[in-house]
């Protein structure tokens, strides 16, 4: 998982997730309808939607104009119905009698304030680019919001899940939203404490108090789950295996659009060479990674848009098993020849590069080890470096990284920032400085084209070009694996994005009820 800040650079993201301390929270589980302790792998840098907190939904503190059902279809949330639109004008009417946690009523001015704050360059919001199609946001009356767009942005309704904040709140103030839970306290590096909102417009949650405990190390979360400190947690598949078929525990394996892959830095003598990148892709045994590292909970990955989704281009799929012979021929033809030490070299440069992964992330460590083992067989030397995210970030333009991204909502999501040259080097957006004018044009066209048939052709071409350039070495798509204590009704899994710690199985935790 990419750090939360990665999804929302330059706050520090993705989207994504900063590893934090793992000390035990002071609260302990009590009865299921009283306090629920949730152990997650990461702590968000901010709890403000304006600065990038949970913009795709899944926050328990905030509501957007729209929300998502388990099948990912959009539904009204703070809006009283799906909006009217003519392509470049989108009009929402608000639900009546909604109040913020501090008791102030929700009005259209709060919606205008939220979106204008995201778009305000002075606020330096890492998600500002996601809303670049918005020309203006207006409040003609207290119950109506009108978005005027620069072009018919096909994904605009998907972006309406952004949490709404009240007018006048400072960016660093304690969070006040309209969501099913209200803020109680936050101990950085330790926990976040929330309590149920008794006047929530969607109905008061059955779980009255929620403690979100941060534990970045996978093994630590597994140990604390086994010790009874957590009522639920997210784990890598192998770490979750110990909880299978144990009384009082349920293991949930949920489909996702979340991938792991090797991000190559361009402009470097080794990873900047197309032959090296293509050879690495050919040498990888992705099926073995799925079978052993994921314990079957996933599938091989070959691109940034998940198989089984509307926008996936099946033409980019390669072989799940390695083709070392073809990789060897490719390197030979490109002038990378094997030296006395078994490592290839070209014009005095050894075929060697560093592959970073976040320390404490057992899954990425195992994937990095598998990559190094596979490519060693074709004469490429990969040196592994397990680091914290603060150490990783300044090195991404020079060293490769096991990264994670992916979203099932719209192909504009993450791909625009990851591969458009305008974002090169902006934190965890396009950290490898990939620049291809054809890709820029395709991403711009896909963002601005209203016709879904034309968009599909555009994103098919985008995926093919990314594959041809071997911009990444995609490894696996994951199933997200959760362990939950006790029997609960209302759990509704859906195909998940990468940043599942602000959503995922827990996205509708406010609707969970103890099974009778």
Same domain for 279 and 144: no
Lowest-pLDDT range, 236-240, 286-290, 391-395? 236-240
Distance, CA of 471 to CA of 444 (rounded, Å): 18
Q: What are phi and psi of 436, to 5 degrees?
A: -145, 110
Nearest to 41 by CA among 475, 478, 472, 335: 478
Looking at residue 31, its pLDDT comes to 42
Distance, CA of 405 to CA of 428 (rounded, Å): 10
| Count of the separate structural domains present in the chain | 2
4 within domain boundaries: no
- CATH number of the domain residue 364 falls in: 3.10.105.10
pLDDT at 436 over 50: yes
pLDDT band at 2 (very low <50, low <70, confident <90, very high): very low
Please calculate the CA angle 131-133-137 and round it to the nearest 5 degrees: 75
pLDDT band at 273 (very low <50, low <70, confident <90, very high): very high
Bridge partners for 255 per DSSP:
479
Contact between 386 and 359 under an 8 Å Cβ cutoff? The reply is yes
SS3 content of the chain, % helix, strand, coil (to 5): 30, 25, 45
166 within domain boundaries: no
Contact between 428 and 392 under an 8 Å Cβ cutoff? The reply is no
pLDDT band at 452 (very low <50, low <70, confident <90, very high): very high
348 within domain boundaries: yes
For 56-155, strand residue ranges (E) read 66-68, 74-76, 84-85, 89-93, 134-141, 144-149
Q: What are phi and psi of 113, to 5 degrees?
A: -55, -45
Contacts of 335 (CB under 8 A, 6+ apart): 346, 347
Same domain for 299 and 156: no
Distance, CA of 276 to CA of 333 (rounded, Å): 11
First-to-last alpha carbon distance for the chain, in angstroms, is 35
Same domain for 348 and 473: yes
Contact between 78 and 98 under an 8 Å Cβ cutoff? The reply is yes
pLDDT, one tens digit per residue, over 174-207 is 999 999 999 999 999 999 999 999 999 999 999 9
Contact between 460 and 483 under an 8 Å Cβ cutoff? The reply is no
pLDDT band at 502 (very low <50, low <70, confident <90, very high): low
Look up the domain containing 377 and give its range. Answer: 257-477
Question: In angstroms, what is the C-alpha Rg of the chain?
Answer: 23
CB atoms inside a 10 Å sphere around CB 168:
9
174 within domain boundaries: no
Looking at residue 383, its pLDDT comes to 98
Which tokens is 466 given? 């990314």
Same domain for 413 and 292: yes
Same domain for 290 and 151: no
Distance, CA of 380 to CA of 114 (rounded, Å): 49
**Block residue for tokens 């009590």:** 30
Contacts of 1 (CB under 8 A, 6+ apart): 14, 16, 17, 41, 42, 258, 361, 404, 498, 499, 500, 501
Distance, CA of 128 to CA of 134 (rounded, Å): 10
Looking at residue 58, its pLDDT comes to 81
Looking at residue 1, its pLDDT comes to 40
Nearest to 313 by CA among 415, 404, 403: 415
pLDDT at 33 over 80: no
Same domain for 466 and 332: yes
End residue of a domain, out of 129, 161, 193: 161
424 within domain boundaries: yes
Looking at residue 57, its pLDDT comes to 85
Peptide bond just before 10 cis, omega within 30 deg: yes
End residue of a domain, out of 106, 127, 161: 161
For 366, half-sphere exposure in the C-beta direction (CA atoms, 13 angstrom radius) is 18
Please calculate the CA angle 8-12-14 and round it to the nearest 5 degrees: 30
pLDDT at 360 over 90: no
Burial 44-68 (b: 16+ CB within 10 A, else e): bbbbbbbbbbbbbbbbbbbbbbbbb
- Strands 232-235 and 35-40 come out as parallel
End residue of a domain, out of 161, 180, 208: 161
Which tokens is 459 given? 């994103």
232 within domain boundaries: no
Looking at residue 38, its pLDDT comes to 96
Same domain for 113 and 262: no
Distance, CA of 463 to CA of 442 (rounded, Å): 10
pLDDT at 12 over 60: no
* Cα–Cα separations (whole angstroms), residue 90 to 76, 159, 446: 14, 12, 19
pLDDT at 24 over 90: no
Distance, CA of 134 to CA of 82 (rounded, Å): 18
Lowest-pLDDT range, 23-37, 108-122, 469-483? 23-37
pLDDT, one tens digit per residue, over 214-230 is 998 999 999 999 999 99
Distance, CA of 229 to CA of 218 (rounded, Å): 15
Bridge partners for 299 per DSSP:
477
Same domain for 157 and 262: no
Nearest to 319 by CA among 295, 285, 367: 285
Same domain for 151 and 264: no
Crossing angle of helices 362-376 and 218-226, rounded to 10°: 140
CB atoms inside a 10 Å sphere around CB 84:
11
247 within domain boundaries: no
Looking at residue 503, its pLDDT comes to 67
Bridge partners for 254 per DSSP:
480
pLDDT at 340 over 60: yes
Which tokens is 427 given? 């934190």
Q: Give the pLDDT mean for 1-18.
A: 32
Same domain for 426 and 296: yes
126 within domain boundaries: yes
- CATH number of the domain residue 95 falls in: 3.90.76.10
């Amino acid at each position: 998982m990419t750090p939360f800040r990665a999804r929302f650079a330059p706050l520090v993201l993705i989207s994504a997730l900063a590893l934090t301390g793992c000390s035990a929270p002071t609260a302990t589980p009590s009865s299921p309808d009283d306090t629920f302790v949730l152990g997650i792998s990461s702590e968000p840098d901010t709890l403000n939607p304006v600065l990038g907190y949970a913009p795709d939904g899944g926050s328990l503190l905030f509501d957007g104009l729209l929300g998502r059902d388990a099948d990912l279809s959009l539904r009204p949330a703070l809006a009283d119905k799906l909006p009217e639109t003519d392509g470049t004008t989108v009009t929402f009417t608000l639900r009546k009698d909604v109040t913020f946690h501090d008791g102030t009523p929700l009005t259209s001015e709060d919606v205008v304030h939220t979106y204008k704050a995201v778009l305000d360059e002075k606020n330096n919001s890492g998600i500002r680019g996601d809303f670049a199609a918005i020309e203006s946001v207006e409040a003609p009356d207290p119950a109506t919001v009108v978005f005027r767009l620069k072009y018919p942005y096909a994904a605009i309704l998907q972006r309406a899940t952004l949490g709404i904040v009240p007018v006048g709140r400072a960016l660093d103030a304690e969070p006040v939203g309209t969501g099913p839970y209200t803020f109680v306290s936050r101990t950085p590096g330790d926990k976040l404490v929330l309590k149920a909102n008794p006047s929530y417009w969607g109905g008061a949650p059955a779980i009255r108090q929620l403690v979100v405990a941060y534990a970045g190390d996978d093994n630590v979360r597994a140990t604390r789950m086994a010790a009874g400190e957590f009522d639920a947690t997210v784990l890598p598949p192998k770490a979750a295996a110990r909880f299978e078929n144990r009384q009082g525990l349920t293991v949930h394996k949920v489909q996702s659009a979340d991938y792991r892959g090797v991000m190559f830095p361009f402009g470097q003598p080794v990873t900047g060479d197309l032959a090296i990148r293509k050879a690495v892709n050919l040498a990888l045994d992705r099926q073995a990674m799925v079978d052993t590292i994921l314990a079957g909970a996933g599938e091989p990955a070959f691109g940034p848009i998940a198989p089984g989704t509307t926008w996936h281009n099946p033409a980019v799929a390669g072989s799940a098993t390695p083709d070392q012979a073809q990789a060897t021929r490719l390197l030979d033809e490109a002038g990378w020849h094997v030296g006395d030490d078994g490592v290839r070299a070209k014009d005095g440069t050894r075929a060697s590069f560093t592959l970073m992964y976040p320390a404490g992330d057992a899954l990425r460590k195992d994937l990095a080890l598998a990559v190094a083992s596979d490519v060693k067989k074709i004469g490429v030397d990969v040196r592994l470096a397990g680091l914290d995210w603060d150490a990783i970030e300044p090195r991404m333009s020079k060293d490769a990284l096991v990264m994670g991204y992916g979203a099932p909502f719209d192909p504009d999501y993450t791909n625009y920032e990851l591969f458009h040259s305008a974002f090169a080097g902006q934190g965890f957006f396009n950290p490898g400085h990939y620049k291809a004018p054809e890709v820029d044009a395709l991403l711009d066209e896909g963002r601005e084209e209203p016709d879904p048939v034309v968009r599909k052709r555009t994103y098919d071409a985008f995926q093919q070009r990314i594959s041809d350039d071997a911009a990444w070495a995609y490894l696996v798509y994951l199933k997200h694996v959760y362990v939950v204590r006790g029997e609960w009704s209302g759990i509704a899994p859906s195909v998940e994005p990468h940043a599942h710690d602000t959503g995922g199985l827990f996205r509708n935790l406010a609707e969970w009820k103890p099974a009778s």
